[in-house]
Amino acid sequence: MPSLSDRLNVFAGPHTDRSRPPRNDAEAVAAALASPGALLAPVWRSRSLLERGDRPRAALLPAAQWPALLSDPSSLLLLGTWRESTVFALEFPAATEPAFPDSLEFADLRMLGGLLEPDEAGLLAYARALVWWRARHRYCGACGAPTEPRDAGHVMRCTVESCGHQAFPRIDPAIIVLVSDGDRTLLGRQASWPPGRYSTIAGFVEPGESLEDTVVREVFEETGVRVTDVRYHSSQPWPFPSSLMVGFEARATSTEVSCNDAELEDARWFSREQLARGEPALPPAQSISYRLIEDWYNAGAARPLAQEPDARVWDKPKR
């Protein structure tokens, strides 16, 4: 089965040089912000600013043309160099929607990310993740005092000198796995999902646990199925709010399904023929879950899943 490492997942890729300018060089960061090519990536209520149109585009604002947005340096987070321009994420307070021209709108990347240019999607996801992290570290986790940004927004440091605790951006690793018994794949659904939608099995990594161990545990806990031959497939940044999805494939050694931990409303086996007929509605095409299913399907089908006219993808991208 081909690996997705040769064709990057949405939001992934070396889209931004995170080392230029150095975050810990305040003078270099200030000079980059004052340069004519500096850009701002606004984020409001975890939504990104996009240009309206048949195909959305990232709305990156020239910093020189929006001086009023630079009045509070603490609202800026350095992302790095993107397409030879230095880009800063710009956080807006949640209370009031910022005023921008009607040609621009704040939108959720969760469904629209796959419609953007790949490096735009990656950049905006990076900005969203940083803003979300910092909004939840405004107070020290050790003593409760207010924190202040350092290193161009990538460190939140306690303002009490005797404490000095520093918080750094963190992500939550989660596994997501395509389980197969050869001719069928195991998919599950949560009760909150629209009728008919099924997806691959996923779950968060626990302390002291390897990724492979998490795959075995999560599949058994959620479905009662035992698996082996756990193999890495690919990964996807998923800043909704702060996950890294690590994709795997695994072979089932048992097939009886029992949803015992209340995580899933239902789990069942699906053949390629059922997927082609559209019996389950599959996850959004920009998700790693869909890519795992697609790769498994294509490895044993006469024609690609994307060419099956009756195959269903849940909730087509919309505004």
- CATH number listed for the domain at residues 172-313: 3.90.79.10
Give residue-wise pLDDT tens across range 20-38.
Answer: 999 999 999 999 999 999 9
Strands (DSSP E) found in the chain: 39-44, 47-51, 57-58, 61-62, 76-82, 85-92, 104-107, 147-150, 155-158, 166-167, 172-180, 184-189, 201-204, 227-238, 243-252, 266-271, 281-282, 312-313
pLDDT at 1: 40
Q: Is the pLDDT of residue 296 over 80?
A: yes
pLDDT at 2: 43
**Burial environment of residue 209 by CB neighbours within 10 A (0 to 12, 13 to 18, 19 or more):** middle
Please list, in sequence order, all residues whose beta carbon lies within 8 angstroms of the beta carbon of residue 298, skipping any fewer than 6 positions away.
Answer: 304, 305
Cα-atom radius of gyration of the chain, to the nearest Å?
22
Give residue-wise pLDDT tens across range 43-54.
Answer: 999 999 999 988
Mean pLDDT of 288-314: 96
For residues 48 and 127, the answer to whether their CB atoms sit within 8 Å is yes
Nearest to 296 by CA among 242, 239, 244, 231: 231
4-135 and 172-313 share one fold? yes
Nearest to 152 by CA among 91, 86, 79: 79
Domain ranges of the chain: 4-135, 136-170, 172-313
pLDDT at 180: 98
- What is the average pLDDT value for the chain, to the nearest integer? 94
For residues 265 and 296, the answer to whether their CB atoms sit within 8 Å is no
Q: Is the pLDDT of residue 3 over 50?
A: no
Q: Which ranges constitute the DSSP H helices of 170-235?
A: 211-223
Nearest to 259 by CA among 192, 205, 188: 188
pLDDT at 196: 94
Nearest to 81 by CA among 144, 167, 9, 22: 22
Q: How confident is the model at residue 318 (pLDDT cuts 50, 70, 90)?
A: very low
3-state SS class at 307: helix
For residues 106 and 97, the answer to whether their CB atoms sit within 8 Å is yes
* 4-135 to CATH, choices 3.90.550, 3.90.79, 3.40.1350, 1.20.1260: 3.90.79
**Burial environment of residue 64 by CB neighbours within 10 A (0 to 12, 13 to 18, 19 or more):** middle
pLDDT at 317: 42
Distances (CA, A) of 318 to 109, 110, 284: 11, 10, 11
Give residue-wise pLDDT tens across range 120-158.
Answer: 999 999 999 999 999 999 999 999 999 999 999 999 999
Give residue-wise pLDDT tens across range 59-100.
Answer: 999 999 999 999 888 899 999 999 999 999 999 999 989 999
Mean pLDDT of 302-309: 96
Look up the pTM and report it: 0.92
Q: How confident is the model at residue 7 (pLDDT cuts 50, 70, 90)?
A: confident
